[in-house]
């Protein structure tokens, strides 16, 4: 794969912090099991939670924002997750969206929303997060250029992964 052929997305960033093998599989169009129960749950939460705010979901370039709303004089971007278990991945994905908006001249702050846990966390884009995103984006591009996926490593995520049959069959 030519590393210049694709736009890095928030999904790539999310999985980069969870499982780099999964990122490679996505980049090389190896599709996950679409009937996986965890994927169904994610779709359900996406469609059913924060229904009033969902009407404000937008796609901008290579990013898809779950919730966008105006609060006083500030734009707020909400990202809905089923669990706060992978908080670093969620923070970095939302920071990626905030950076993409910043690069288009749009200032915003982020909120991670965990409806099942009734939790929310504010995410602000900092210089440190911008640097970490630059590093992660470069690593994802390098990963895409590799002819084979990284070696499979059993991690906690494997149990609920839609790629588990591919990695462990």
* One-character DSSP codes across 122-137: EE---HHHHHHHHHHH
Query: Which of the pair, 39 or 123, is modelled with greater confidence?
Result: 123
Residue 155 pLDDT:
77
For the segment(s) 10-168, the CATH number from 3.90.550.10, 3.90.320.10, 3.40.190.10, 3.40.50.1820 is 3.90.320.10
Rounded to an integer, what distance in angstroms lies between the CA atom of residue 160 and that of residue 100?
30
Q: What does the domain layout of the chain look like in residue ranges?
A: 10-168
Query: Which residue blocks in the chain are alpha helix, DSSP H?
Result: 10-16, 20-27, 37-48, 51-54, 87-103, 127-145, 164-168
Residue closest to 145 by CA, chosen among 57, 24, 16, 14: 24
Amino acid 39: pLDDT = 47
- pLDDT for the residue 151: 84
Q: Is this model's pTM higher than 0.85 or not?
A: no
- The per-residue pLDDT for range 77-112, each reduced to its tens digit, is 999 998 898 999 999 999 999 999 999 999 999 999
Report the DSSP pairing between strands 58-60 and 63-65. Answer: antiparallel
């Amino acid at each position: 794969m030519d590393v210049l052929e694709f736009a890095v997305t928030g999904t790539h960033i999310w999985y980069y912090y969870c499982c780099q093998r999964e990122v490679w599989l996505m980049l090389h169009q190896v599709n996950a099991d679409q009937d996986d129960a965890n994927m169904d749950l994610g779709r359900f939460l996406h469609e059913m939670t924060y229904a009033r705010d969902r009407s404000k979901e937008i796609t901008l370039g290579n990013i898809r924002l779950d919730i966008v709303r105006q609060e006083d004089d500030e734009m707020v971007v909400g990202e809905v997750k089923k669990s706060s278990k992978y908080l670093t991945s969620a923070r970095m994905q939302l920071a990626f969206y905030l950076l993409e908006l910043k690069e288009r001249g749009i200032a915003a702050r982020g909120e991670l929303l965990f409806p099942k846990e009734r939790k929310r966390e504010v995410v602000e884009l900092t210089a440190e997060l911008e640097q970490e995103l630059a590093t992660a984006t470069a690593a994802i591009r390098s990963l895409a250029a590799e002819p084979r996926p990284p070696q499979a490593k059993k991690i906690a995520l494997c149990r609920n992964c839609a790629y588990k049959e591919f990695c462990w069959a």
